[in-house]
Amino acid sequence: DTGVSQDPRHKITKRGQNVTFRCDPISEHNRLYWYRQTLGQGPEFLTYFQNEAQLEKSRLLSDRFSAERPKGSFSTLEIQRTEQGDSAMYLCASSLGLAGVVEELFFGEGSRLTVL
């Protein structure tokens, strides 16, 4: 097992373009999270999945953002019509997902987005 992997690691795009990030969680983990982090700030919660179900989405998240986890394994995060304010590190994390158990989140190395 190689941990949480994210792709691409870096993405530079022009304003108005669409981008998609992929996350592969640790294989036996049922929960998957997306966070966004900008310089000097802590990770900000975006959304999370329990298996294939998206259970919560931040109310701060624009409609331009959408996430999927179609088969309960990997997940994609798409940003449509990117804006310069979307420039950030997008972090994916996963956890076991056992009911009633407080769990550690394991983070991937992140996908850094730069919108020109």
Give residues in contact with another protein (CB under 8 A).
31, 33, 35, 40-45, 48, 50, 55-56, 91, 95, 102, 104-105, 107-110
Q: Which is nearer to another protein, 35 or 65 (CB)?
A: 35
Q: Which is nearer to another protein, 80 or 105 (CB)?
A: 105
Q: Please tell me whether residue 85 adopts helix, strand or coil conformation.
A: helix
Least distance in angstroms from the C-beta of 45 to another protein? 5
C-alpha to C-alpha distance for 94 and 104, rounded to whole angstroms: 8
**Dihedral over Cα of 23, 110, 42, 27: its sign:** positive
C-alpha to C-alpha distance for 87 and 38, rounded to whole angstroms: 8
Q: Which is nearer to another protein, 55 or 116 (CB)?
A: 55
C-alpha to C-alpha distance for 104 and 29, rounded to whole angstroms: 11
Least distance in angstroms from the C-beta of 103 to another protein? 8
Give Cα separations from 91 to 37, 101, 110 (angstroms).
Answer: 7, 23, 4
Least distance in angstroms from the C-beta of 96 to another protein? 11
Least distance in angstroms from the C-beta of 26 to another protein? 13
Q: Which is nearer to another protein, 61 or 80 (CB)?
A: 61
